């Protein structure tokens, strides 16, 4: 078996070869990291430190707390970890910059305040900024329709013109995070459907690609799958995954791997104990559709390949 990499060594490799250039420029990668539970815990902590040092948003997902067999639950954990309100602020700030009227105070994006600062007409400034938002958000066909409308209305709310009420902005935030949302407020925004397991995958890929929207260089997500190997006796301590639920998890991962070319500014690291990964009945090789996507045809017997989709750490 190929010798494992040290957790610090591999985290430094990811920072140098992926985060500092490739991911910040718009690339994306999905990595499977395998090792002893203690080494994986240390590795995830190191990744969070790397994210803080390099201005990346960071989100940690644990299969014990989140039913990662359901795409919508994975999405909601991410949106609850990330500040969805910051998306609106970042988009509004970018619209001001694009229109040539940079805010004096990034925390105050009201049109009246910025118009007074630049000594321009408030109504004209609002039309210019709204036009920029329409061009950059509503015209972005890579985003699902309802997500475009949600981000556009959140950005409008930051302008402080009263077009979007606080209640409507709260309803949109609740819709994005899986909390109960007032249907009437959502209809005002033009949002037509509730986010469910069946329709959440396009929104998930969009959220994973939204690191720069929140003012960061990108997004790092760690997904801890140790819980998939727990037996039924520990079900009261967190989520328990049956055989069919584990296969659903691997299908969610398969969809993510296949969506890599659609992702932007994103690094997803999936961590799994070696005893689970190597288990032919419970590990990912029990699901051929995922196994064929992460299997290395050529492996050096001595030297670890840190560019490989699966890396063992110690």
CB under 8 Å to 136, separation ≥6 — which residues?
Answer: 91, 94, 95, 98
Residue-level pLDDT at 1:
54
Do 120 and 65 fall into the same domain? Answer: no
Q: Are strands 28-35 and 219-224 parallel, antiparallel or unpaired?
A: unpaired
Q: Are residues 152 and 106 in the same domain?
A: yes
Neighbours of 59 (CB within 10 A): 20
Whether residue 200 lies inside any domain: the answer is no
Question: Do 215 and 78 lie in a common domain?
Answer: yes
- Same domain, yes or no: 282 and 304: yes
Q: Give the domain range for residue 276.
A: 7-82+210-313
The pLDDT of residue 235 is 60
| R_g over Cα of the chain | 21
* 12 CB neighbour count, 10 Å cutoff: 15
Q: Does residue 267 form part of some domain?
A: yes
| Residues 74 and 88 reside in one and the same domain | no
Among 189, 222, 239, the domain boundary falls at: 189
Mark whether 114 and 142 lie in a shared domain.
yes
Domain end marker among 123, 157, 189: 189
**What CA–CA distance (Å, rounded) separates 250 from 204?**
16
pLDDT tens for the 314 residues of the chain, in order: 567 889 899 999 999 999 999 999 999 999 999 999 999 999 999 999 999 999 999 999 999 999 999 999 999 999 999 888 888 999 999 999 999 999 988 889 999 999 999 999 999 999 999 999 999 999 998 889 999 999 999 999 999 999 999 999 999 999 999 999 988 889 989 998 899 999 999 999 999 998 887 778 999 999 999 999 988 876 667 899 999 999 999 999 999 999 999 999 999 999 999 999 999 999 999 999 999 999 876 676 777 788 899 999 98
How far apart CA 222 and CA 59 sit, in angstroms, is 7
The DSSP code for 5 is: B
Does 168 lie in the same domain as 127? Answer: yes
Q: What pLDDT, on a 0 to 100 scale, did the predictor assign at position 298?
A: 67
pTM: 0.92
Residue 14 lies in a domain: yes
C-alpha span between 97 and 246 (Å, rounded): 46
Rounded Cα–Cα distance for residues 229 and 290 (Å) = 17
């Amino acid at each position: 078996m190929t010798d494992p990499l040290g957790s610090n060594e591999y985290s430094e490799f990811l920072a140098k070869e992926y985060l500092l250039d490739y991911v910040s420029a718009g690339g994306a990668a999905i990595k499977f990291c395998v090792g002893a539970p203690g080494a994986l815990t240390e590795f995830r902590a190191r990744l969070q430190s790397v994210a803080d040092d390099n201005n990346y948003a960071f989100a940690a997902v644990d299969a014990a707390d989140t039913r990662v067999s359901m795409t919508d639950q994975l999405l909601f954990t991410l949106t609850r970890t990330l500040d969805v309100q910051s998306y609106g602020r970042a988009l509004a700030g970018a619209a001001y910059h694009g229109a040539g009227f940079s805010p004096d105070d990034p925390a105050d994006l009201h049109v009246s305040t910025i118009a007074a600062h630049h000594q321009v007409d408030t109504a004209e400034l609002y039309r210019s900024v709204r036009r920029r938002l329409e061009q950059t958000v509503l015209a972005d066909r890579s985003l699902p329709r309802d997500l475009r409308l949600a981000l556009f209305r959140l950005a409008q709310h930051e302008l402080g013109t009263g077009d979007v009420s606080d209640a409507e902005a709260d309803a949109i935030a609740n819709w994005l995070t899986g909390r109960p949302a007032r249907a009437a407020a959502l209809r005002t925004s033009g949002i037509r459907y509730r986010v469910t397991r069946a329709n959440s995958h396009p929104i998930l890929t969009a959220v994973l690609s939204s690191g720069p929207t929140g003012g960061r260089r990108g997004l790092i997500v760690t997904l801890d799958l140790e819980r998939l190997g727990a037996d039924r006796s520990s079900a009261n301590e967190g989520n328990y995954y049956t055989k069919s639920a584990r296969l659903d998890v691997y299908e969610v991962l398969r969809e993510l791997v296949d969506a890599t070319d659609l992702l932007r500014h994103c690094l997803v690291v999936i961590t799994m104990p070696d005893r689970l990964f190597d288990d032919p009945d419970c590990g990912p090789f029990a699901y051929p559709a995922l196994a064929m996507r992460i299997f290395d045809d050529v492996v050096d017997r001595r030297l670890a390949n840190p560019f490989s989709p699966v890396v063992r750490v110690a």
